[in-house]
Structure 1
Amino acid sequence: MSTYLTASDLSRALAVRDLSDAAQGPHAMQALLDATIDALARAWGSRVRVVRNSPLVAVADNYDKLGYDPADVTRDARYTRYVSPTTMLRSHTTADIPDTLRRYAGTTAEVDDLIVVPGLVYRRDVVDRIHVGEPHQVDLWRLRSRPDTGDRDVRDLVAHVVRAVLPGAGWRTTPARHPYTALGRQVDVRLGADWLELAECGLIAEHVLAGAGLDPARWSGTALGMGLDRALMLRKGIPDIRYLRSGNPRVAEQLRDLSPWRPVSALPPIRRDLSVVVADDTDDETLGDTVRKVLHDRVDDIESVLVAARTPWAELSEKARDRLGIVPGQTNAVVRLVLRPLSRTLTDEEANELRNQVYLAIHAGPRLELA
Structure 2
Amino acid sequence: MPTSHYLTPDQIQRALALRDLTDPSQGEHAIQQLLTSVVSALQNRWHCTARYVRNPPVVAVRDNYDRLGYDATDVTRDRRYTRYLSPTTMLRSHTSAEIPGALESYAHDADIDELVVVPGLVYRRDVVDRSHVGEPHQVDLWRIRDTPDTSDDDMLDMIDRLVEAVLPGAEWQVTDAVHPYTVGGRQIDLWLDGEWLELAECGRIHPGVLRSAGLDPQRWSGLALGMGLERALMLRKSIPDIRYLRAADPRIAAQMQHLGPWEHVSPLPHARRDISVVVPDDDDEETLGDVIRSSLGDDAEVIESVELLALTSYGELPEAARERLGLQPGQSNMLLRIILRPIDQTLTSADANAIRNAIYRAVHHGPVMELI
Q: How does the TM-score come out when normalised to structure 2?
A: 0.98
Aligned to 2:5: 3
Amino acid at match of 1:49: R
Equivalents in 1 of 2:23, 2:104: separation in Å? Answer: 24
Q: Which of 69, 72, 78 pairs up with 1:70? A: 72
Aligned to 2:28: 26
Aligned to 1:192: 193
Aligned to 2:16: 14
Residue 102 of structure 1 pairs with residue 115 of structure 2: no
Equivalents in 2 of 1:333, 1:3: separation in Å? Answer: 24
Aligned to 1:257: 258
Aligned to 1:151: 152
Equivalents in 1 of 2:217, 2:312: separation in Å? Answer: 52
Q: Residue deviations 1:43-97, cap 9 Å, x none?
A: 1001000000111111000000000000000000110011111111100000000
Equivalents in 1 of 2:88, 2:356: separation in Å? Answer: 37
SS in 2 for 1:275: strand
Q: Residue deviations 1:192-211, cap 9 Å, x none?
A: 21100000000000110111
Aligned to 1:320: 321
1:140, CA displacement in angstroms?
0.4
Equivalents in 1 of 2:15, 2:224: separation in Å? Answer: 27
Q: Residue deviations 1:6-31, cap 9 Å, x none?
A: 11100100000000110000000000
Equivalents in 1 of 2:352, 2:238: separation in Å? Answer: 29
CA-atom RMSD in angstroms? 0.8
Aligned to 2:235: 234
Aligned to 1:332: 333
Equivalents in 1 of 2:356, 2:160: separation in Å? Answer: 45
1:345, CA displacement in angstroms?
3.0
Unaligned runs of 5+ in 2: none
Aligned to 2:308: 307
1:268, CA displacement in angstroms?
2.1
Aligned to 1:205: 206
SS in 2 for 1:303: strand
Amino acid at match of 1:89: L
Aligned to 2:50: 48
Q: Which moved more, 1:337-346 or 1:65-74?
A: 337-346
Aligned to 1:58: 60
Amino acid at match of 1:229: E
Residue 224 of structure 1 pairs with residue 207 of structure 2: no
1:266, CA displacement in angstroms?
1.5
Amino acid at match of 2:158: L
Equivalents in 1 of 2:303, 2:44: separation in Å? Answer: 42
4+ runs deviating over 4 angstroms: none
1:307, CA displacement in angstroms?
1.3
Q: Residue deviations 1:242-277, cap 9 Å, x none?
A: 000000000001010000000110222211110000
SS in 2 for 1:110: coil
Q: Residue deviations 1:276-310, cap 9 Å, x none?
A: 00011111111000000010000011001121110
Residue 364 of structure 1 pairs with residue 365 of structure 2: yes
Equivalents in 1 of 2:168, 2:7: separation in Å? Answer: 41
Equivalents in 1 of 2:312, 2:7: separation in Å? Answer: 31
Equivalents in 2 of 1:204, 1:210: separation in Å? Answer: 11
Equivalents in 1 of 2:160, 2:223: separation in Å? Answer: 13
Q: Which of 74, 84, 87 pairs up with 1:85? A: 87
SS in 1 for 2:39: helix
Amino acid at match of 2:80: R
Equivalents in 1 of 2:346, 2:318: separation in Å? Answer: 39
SS in 2 for 1:19: coil
Equivalents in 2 of 1:224, 1:328: separation in Å? Answer: 44
Amino acid at match of 2:65: Y
1:155, CA displacement in angstroms?
0.2
Unaligned runs of 5+ in 1: none
Amino acid at match of 2:20: D
1:344, CA displacement in angstroms?
2.8
Q: Residue deviations 1:217-243, cap 9 Å, x none?
A: 110001100000100011000000000
SS in 2 for 1:70: coil
Amino acid at match of 1:96: E
Equivalents in 1 of 2:73, 2:64: separation in Å? Answer: 14
Matches within 5 A, 1:108-187: 109-187=110-188
1:318, CA displacement in angstroms?
1.3
Equivalents in 2 of 1:167, 1:370: separation in Å? Answer: 50
How many aligned residue pairs are there?
370
Equivalents in 2 of 1:198, 1:4: separation in Å? Answer: 32
Equivalents in 1 of 2:353, 2:282: separation in Å? Answer: 28
